[in-house]
Structure 1
Amino acid sequence: MSEKKLALVTGANKGIGYEIAAGLGALGYRVGVGARDRTRREAAVEKLRAAGADAFEVPLDVTDHQSVTRAADLVEGLTGHLDTLVNNAGISGELGPEWAQDPTAVDFGDLRTVVETNVIGVMRVTNAMLPLLRRSASPRIVNVSSSVASLTRQADPDIEAGPVMAVYAPSKSFLNAVTVQYARQLADTNILVNAACPGFVATDFNGFRGPRTPEQGAATAIRLATLPDGGPTGGFFEDDGAIPW
């Protein structure tokens, strides 16, 4: 019997992250549930195991270097390698009426906090896990982005772009740019790096107002996490295919 593939999903204790972990678990992956909150992390792992998934806890705060280092050590101690990393953990920052974030009145502390989680946190975790990913036969990195990261869509007057979000949306555009740079840097390896848009999903992130379920939102990330060798890298995708930058 071949050894199970090992995946780590950050922010996997609830919502889209949980469903990504559940989907990978259903495909036979051993799944690490990365999350800060111990109680929620334990509950998520218990629920995943009850559904038949091989899940385990990974205490992880993506904004804390020591926490990330300990998480990498934990994963290495299990199998010595990592097959799939899904960087799902993210925050929106303070939202005004109808989710608006006015660039002319932005709180720069809030902006820094969002970038620290949504961009620097992703890079911190990715860099810590790269030595383990390099030991995998078919490593995959998926960064969970958003359609509001698309500058093409945001700037097109004929497309309904939603509210102005001067903190969250640019942080995801930044994440997309970083995704491309990782793909370029790792182009001569077997590591595929892509960004996934889950769509407008009903989670506590948006007051459960989205029309899509977390399970639907997880689908693209799961597809990119399980790409065959020779699949795309450095792309930005949703259910219907590639999203314009």
Structure 2
Amino acid sequence: MAVQSRVAAVTGANKGIGLAIVRQLALQYPSSPFKSGPFLIYLTARSPERGAEAVETLNNDAQLKQAKVLAQDGGDTTIKYHALDIGDQKSIHAFIHVLKQEHPEGIDFAINNAGVALDGFDSTIVKNTLATNYYGTLEASNAFLPLIRNSGRLVNVSSTAGRLNKYSDEIRNAFLSASKTSVPAVTAIMQQFHTAVDDGREKEAGFPSAAYAVSKSGETAFTKVLAMEEAKRNRGVLVNACCPGYVNTDMTKGRGRKTPDQGAMTPVMLALHDIGGKFGEFWMGEEVTEW
């Protein structure tokens, strides 16, 4: 296989915001500062059937065809499916192994979009939500970062559901402190939450009864830590978290006000465009916002 000039990986990309992120990467790459020859995007998802369908949908997308951005139409970009379940460590490391083999020179962009929003609230739902949204995204981030070339980008799609205004002052301050300290400090808060839910006393402990919200607070917090640690390596790799906004997808049960393409704009900007060297920030609506 010919060496690609630019390589991106997008998780949870067979539908909704993830699919729109892949679409917008293809559309915006030709006018981005990173443009330099061929561009390969790995569209990853758990299901091979759905992943293959997603690639086919994009290869036949009217706007992509009109813009002539795909290699099959004379453009730079090729979209390729690869299996990835961020809730499964073996799956993450199998994908990383493929990236290392295919791209020993490294990749340029990784966008962690995969996540779950489960109905209800109990200890099992908390466990499963944290397993994917917190631990899975953390595992994927740590696996992608060493592969990202100098001046590349890591983007974690978090949520304003994880804003800190829904916690007690004590927990809010713990998050702020942990986000400047270490990943284990953030993980300790996730464990504290899970234990409190097991005991039926999360409210007294200062947490909301909301697994998704707490998982996303954790994701934003550890992203800030990784950004700080990465900055010390002086490689120019920018790590940021963002909220796509309230998007009309399966996850919002079709209630969102934004289209998936509108939701994709901030994550794609953080990957492909000049953001003034900012890192460790939480973004929404294409600007830095309060966490």
Q: TM-score, normalised by structure 1?
A: 0.85
Q: 2:56 matched to 1:46? A: yes
Cα contact 1:36–1:61 (8 A) shared by 2: yes
Counterpart residue number, 2:171 = none
8 Å Cα contact 2:116-2:129 kept in structure 1: yes
- Stretches of structure 1 that go unaligned for 5 or more consecutive residues are 96-105, 156-163
For 1:73, the equivalent position in structure 2 comes to 97
Partner of residue 10, structure 2 = 9
SS at match of 1:83: strand
- Answering whether residue 142 of structure 2 is matched by residue 127 of structure 1, we say yes
Q: Could you say which residue in structure 1 is the equivalent of 2:290?
A: 244
Picking from 135, 156, 171, the partner of 1:143 is 156
Aligned to 1:174: 218
Q: Helix, strand or coil for the counterpart of 1:186?
A: helix
Q: Which amino acid aligns with 2:87?
A: T
Q: Give SS of 2:258's match.
A: coil
* TM-score (norm: length of structure 2): 0.72
Judged with a 3 Å threshold, the aligned counterparts in structure 2 of structure 1 residues 229 and 205 are, in CA distance, closer, same or farther, namely: closer
Structure 2 unaligned blocks of 5 or more: 31-38, 65-69, 71-76, 168-207
| 1:85 aligned residue (94, 107, 110) | 110
Question: Is the alpha carbon distance of 1:230 and 1:243 closer, same or farther for their aligned partners in structure 2, counting shifts above 3 Å?
Answer: closer
Q: What is the Cα deviation at residue 49 of structure 1?
A: 2.6
Cα distance, 1:165–1:90 mapped onto 2, change above 3 Å:
farther
Partner of 1:209, secondary structure, is coil
2:132 is equivalent to residue 117 of structure 1: yes
Larger Rg: 2
SS in structure 2 of the partner of residue 138 of structure 1? strand
How big is the shift at 1:79? Answer: 2.1
In 1, Cα distance between equivalents of 2:99 and 2:131: 23
CA distance in 1 between partners of 2:6 and 2:89 (Å): 26
Distance in 2 separating the partners of 1:45 and 1:67: 20
Percent identity reads: 36
Say which SS state the counterpart of residue 112 (structure 1) adopts.
helix
Q: Tell me, yes or no, if the aligned pair for 1:72 and 1:129 is still in contact at 8 Å.
A: yes
Number of residue-to-residue matches in the alignment: 224
After TM superposition, the runs of 4+ consecutive aligned structure 1 residues lying more than 3 A away are: 227-230
Deviation at 1:131, TM superposition (A): 2.3
The alignment partner of 2:151 has SS state of: coil
